[in-house]
Amino acid sequence: MSDADLKGPTVLTVLLNWRTADMTLRAADSAEVAMQGIAGGIVVVDNDSGDGSFEKMSAALKDRPRFRVVQSGRNGGFGAGNNVGIRLGLPGGVRPDYVYILNSDAFPAPDAIRRLLDYLETHPQVGIAGSYIHGPDGEPHVTCFRFPSVASEFEGAARTGPISRLLRHRSVAIGVPETSGPVDWLAGASMMLREAVIRDVGMFDEAFFLYFEETDLCRRAAEAGWPTHFVRESRVEHIGSVSTGMKGWKRVPDYWFDSRWHYFRKAGGTARAIMATLAHLAGALILRARRLVQPKIPPGPPHFLRDLVGHALRSLGRKRSVDGN
């Protein structure tokens, strides 16, 4: 049976590349295997890499009918790049029933996409489903979270036993659930969305360059009545931080602070963003006080508090300037 003869719900797999062509092609191979028996297609979006990635991937995939390789034309970040593929749809512009987002450094097991699809088909009230993610060594990755809040900012910055116990139900990370079920949001390395969710709440907010974009999408979906679920049976190997270089950061980049501020401002206005920043600052000062007597406690990223406060002040200054106009 050819791909054209496949019946049932259709899935559009979107795979975003930025300067990791070889790894993206490995992810594409895994996705092709995992799409066997599923109607739909795979679009590989090159996010304006400028390093020959587009040409290399186009040549490698040109004779494989499941694939289309397209150029975004600009590096607008994770959300903007994935939106290029989502807008493209299936061949002929046909909208799929589901959109599957896969990172370029993520490699689904042969049944991983089918597991997500079957879960959404049998749970019609669920809007987004995400996989169990593990590293190359088999160690599970924490990819299930609560929505960030003022309380979670305080708890996460303080990293102090009594505070963490008191606010244990507000901390962002929730560990790795033993069974499939609801979570607030999931990391976007491997997640499937209903087309109905995209119709209801839109695609990724392109104001986020990197980070918080999937948090925001899951929050908007939840507010529209589409919860997110973790699917333990869908397994995906993930290397992590290959395109972003996060593991090697010497200083948190401005775009992370931009995304954080934008998320809190969308979720509760400028007042919420200010409160979250003050809560983080208060928690960090508690941690610093602890480190005076327990110097072995690891510090946060270099210059983080200075950058956090500076970014907040600049953001407020820009808002006053816009309001003044």
Q: Please state the pTM of the whole predicted model.
A: 0.94
Q: What is the CA radius of gyration of the chain?
A: 21
pLDDT at residue 241, as a whole number: 61
Whether 131 contacts 190, CB under 8 Å: yes
Tokens found for residue 70: 């397209």
**Domain C-terminal end among 200, 225, 246:** 246
* Whether pLDDT at 66 is above 60: yes
Sorted by sequence, the CB contacts under 8 Å of residue 17 that are 6+ apart come out as 24, 44, 45, 46, 47, 49, 53, 57, 104
Q: What confidence tier does 150 reach under pLDDT thresholds 50, 70, 90?
A: very high
To the nearest whole percent, how much of the chain has pLDDT over 90?
90
Higher per-residue pLDDT: 236 or 1: 236
Q: What confidence tier does 250 reach under pLDDT thresholds 50, 70, 90?
A: confident
If you average pLDDT over residues 69-77, what whole number do you get? 97
pLDDT at residue 300, as a whole number: 84
pLDDT at residue 293, as a whole number: 92
**Residue 152 counted as domain residue:** no
Dmax (CA) of the chain: 69
Q: Are 43 and 189 within one domain?
A: yes
Q: Are 288 and 185 within one domain?
A: no
Q: What confidence tier does 325 reach under pLDDT thresholds 50, 70, 90?
A: low
pLDDT at residue 227, as a whole number: 98
- How far apart, in whole angstroms, are the C-alpha atoms of residue 194 and residue 288? 45
What 3-state DSSP class applies to 143?
Answer: coil
Q: Are 99 and 9 within one domain?
A: yes
Q: Are 8 and 42 within one domain?
A: yes
* Cross-strand pairs, 108: 236
**Domain C-terminal end among 225, 246, 267:** 246
**Residue 196 counted as domain residue:** yes
Q: Are 128 and 254 within one domain?
A: no
**Domain C-terminal end among 214, 246, 278:** 246
Which one-letter amino acid corresponds to residue 14? V
pLDDT tens digits along 198-246: 999 999 999 999 999 999 999 999 999 999 999 999 999 999 765 455 5
**Residue 171 counted as domain residue:** no
pLDDT tens digits along 268-322: 999 999 999 999 999 999 999 999 999 999 988 899 999 999 999 999 998 666 6
Q: Are 270 and 184 within one domain?
A: no
- How far apart, in whole angstroms, are the C-alpha atoms of residue 15 and residue 13? 7
pLDDT tens digits along 84-98: 999 999 998 899 999
Which one-letter amino acid corresponds to residue 282? A
**Residue 154 counted as domain residue:** no
Q: Are 254 and 242 within one domain?
A: no
**Residue 223 counted as domain residue:** yes
Q: Are 242 and 257 within one domain?
A: no
pLDDT tens digits along 166-194: 999 999 999 999 999 999 999 999 999 99
Whether 153 contacts 283, CB under 8 Å: yes
Contacts made by residues 160-169, CB under 8 angstroms, sequence distance 24+? 160/286, 160/287, 160/290, 163/283, 163/286
pLDDT at residue 131, as a whole number: 98
* Whether pLDDT at 155 is above 70: yes
Q: Are 239 and 254 within one domain?
A: no
* Whether pLDDT at 106 is above 90: yes
CATH number at residue 63: 3.90.550.10
**Residue 312 counted as domain residue:** yes
pLDDT at residue 100, as a whole number: 98
pLDDT tens digits along 39-63: 999 999 999 999 999 999 999 999 9
Q: Are 296 and 239 within one domain?
A: no
**Residue 147 counted as domain residue:** no
Range of the domain at 135: 3-141+176-246
Which of 189, 53, 209 has the alpha carbon at shortest distance from 133? Answer: 189
Q: Are 212 and 182 within one domain?
A: yes
pLDDT at residue 240, as a whole number: 77
In the chain, count of helices (H) and strands (E)?
10, 11
Beta strands 128-134 and 228-238, pairing class: parallel
Q: Are 241 and 253 within one domain?
A: no
How many domains, the chain?
Answer: 2
